[in-house]
Amino acid sequence: MIEIGIIGGTGYTAGELIRLIIHHPKARINSVVSKSNPGKWIHCIHQDLLGEINMKFTRSLNKEIDIVFLCSGHGQSRKELKKISDHVKVIDLSQDFRILNQSVFEGRNFIYGLPELQKDVIKKSYNIANPGCFATAVLLSILPLAQNNLLKKQIHISAITGSTGSGKKISETNQFSWRTNNISTYKIFQHQHIQEIKQVIHKVQNNFSSEIYLIPYRGNFSRGIIATLYTYSSFSLEKNREIYKEYYKRHPFVEVSDINIDIKQVVNTNKCILYLLKEKDQLIVISIIDNLIKGASGQAVQNMNLLFNLDETCGLRLKSVRF
């Protein structure tokens, strides 16, 4: 059994991570650290886990662990890493190590953990920077084009995310009375995940120099992301579909749909589903993921599976909550 420690155990991503690992056939939760709730039963914070786990939050990690998931939030991971033994593998769910010039700390070199980008590299790694949720949804809709050197002009993206993307910390824009029956844009062209997206695209297609424009929206639902991008393409829709299906044939969590898609198809799953359209010379790609699973905790478990030479789908064959 893989012995697992989690730091920052009270947030949404930690709750989903605990839920996934409880039912993972090859992993076991050893300790869950919470600075705000040490000694409290985990199911008192994550009430959906009542009857699923009989464990309390601790102040510190137990020593006998194989891997630590850092869920403390952005800017906290460096502090936590100083307390973790060098022999323990690390998956960080914050943005602290995703950018190349920030990816080395205390002798640890963090690899960008998008399996559909570099699965074989992840398998040989020790430290993983889990991608951001918007970055995951967008990159999975662009990678086949970049891999085939087909990005020629600007990329325009609009993407809407559920309220869980803002985390548990209360703010005006994630309260129910503000969020319900409402929608708004934020961080237009300035979202932090744009840097991740550009970094990956330039790595895959280094001659791409056009701009990438992202308009994020706050949605009036709890979980999921739908991202729609368009960019120039000289190929037919059929040829583009062929390129996408060929690229993803060895990646079990990405599907290319021949009919239109909606968020409920992926909620509670580690899937990304793509749908392609063509209007004149513009290729349109629609991408859907669950921001807490494929956009965070599920992808982290997928990376753990790769780190320990397990089938990457282990513990992640989940059905969507459709109705």
Among candidate residues 44, 133, 272, 314, the one labeled active-site is 133
Of 146, 121, 115, which Cα lies nearest the Cα of 253? 115
Active site residue 272: no
C-beta separation of 62 from 30 below 8 A: yes
Tokens for 166, please give them.
């803002």
Residue environment code for 231-244, b if the CB has 16+ CB neighbours within 10 A, otherwise e: bebebeeeebbebb
Q: For residue 313, how far is the Cα from the chain centroid?
A: 15
- Point out the residues that are catalytic: 133
